[in-house]
């Protein structure tokens, strides 16, 4: 079995921690306006700065690509929609790690394209079965809980370069149980 781990990007972790001061707005970029999904999520902090959260593709081997979460401060976000939200200070910021794996032994119960399809799964780190041919651990999301009790989960989605954002653009295949907070 090939084992991969994408290091947690220090700048992303530091940027996520800035969100602990509070979030007052959320915005979205949509590459495909007719899809009910987004390709970037923007969070405005109390001081007016914006943080962009996007999926970063990592092509690990033939038929195995994962999408880790990247966060960065941006000067002027290009958004297709924006909403007011309230995650009051202090916000509990929990970066979330997940694991993806390829399992050539798993049955495929739906139509596919191409030849010799292989199923790819997402689950808790360490949960890949022995039949997996490759695994990868990576930062896949973040959970934010404001002092006022409002919560938001943002994660990379099952469709490449798209985002799951709880309450706004939810990926039907997203399973919060497949993620665990990373230790710092």
In a domain, 183, yes or no: no
- At residue 23, the 3 state secondary structure works out as strand
In a domain, 182, yes or no: no
In a domain, 131, yes or no: yes
- Listed in sequence order, the DSSP H helices in the chain are 10-18
In a domain, 181, yes or no: no
Q: Tell me whether strands 134-145 and 2-5 are parallel, antiparallel or unpaired.
A: parallel
Each residue's pLDDT tens digit, 158-181: 999 999 999 999 999 999 999 999
pLDDT exceeds 70 at position 184? no
In a domain, 146, yes or no: yes
Which residue segment(s) compose the domain that 85 sits in? 2-176
Q: What are phi and psi of 111, to 5 degrees?
A: -60, 145
The total of structural domains in the chain comes to: 1
Q: What is the pLDDT of residue 107?
A: 84
pTM: 0.94
Dihedral angle of Cα 22, 23, 24, 30, to the nearest 10 degrees: 170
**Residue owning tokens 């962009």:** 52
Q: What are phi and psi of 176, to 5 degrees?
A: -55, -30
Q: What is the pLDDT of residue 6?
A: 97
Each residue's pLDDT tens digit, 55-105: 999 999 999 999 999 999 999 899 999 999 999 999 999 999 999 999 999
Spatial contact of 26 and 42, defined as CB atoms under 8 Å apart: yes
In a domain, 157, yes or no: yes
Spatial separation of the C-alpha atoms in residues 44 and 27, rounded to whole Å = 8
- Of 100, 109, 104, nearest to 127 by C-alpha is 100
Spatial separation of the C-alpha atoms in residues 86 and 24, rounded to whole Å = 5
């Amino acid at each position: 079995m090939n084992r991969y781990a994408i290091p947690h990007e220090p700048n992303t972790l530091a940027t996520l921690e800035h969100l602990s001061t509070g979030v007052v707005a959320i915005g979205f970029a949509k590459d495909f306006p007719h899809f009910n999904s987004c390709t970037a999520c923007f969070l405005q902090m109390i001081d007016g700065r914006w943080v962009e959260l996007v999926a970063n593709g990592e092509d690990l081997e033939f038929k195995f690509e994962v999408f880790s979460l990247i966060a960065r401060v941006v000067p002027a976000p290009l958004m297709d929609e924006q909403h007011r939200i309230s995650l009051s200070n202090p916000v509990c910021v929990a970066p979330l790690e997940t694991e993806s794996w390829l399992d050539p032994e798993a049955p495929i119960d739906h139509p596919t394209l191409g030849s010799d399809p292989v199923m790819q799964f997402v689950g808790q780190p360490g949960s890949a079965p022995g039949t997996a041919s490759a695994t990868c651990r990576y930062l896949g999301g973040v959970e934010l809980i404001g002092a006022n009790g409002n919560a938001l989960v943002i994660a990379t989605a099952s469709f490449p370069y798209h985002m799951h954002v709880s309450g706004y653009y939810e990926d039907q295949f997203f399973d919060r149980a497949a993620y665990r907070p990373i230790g710092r």
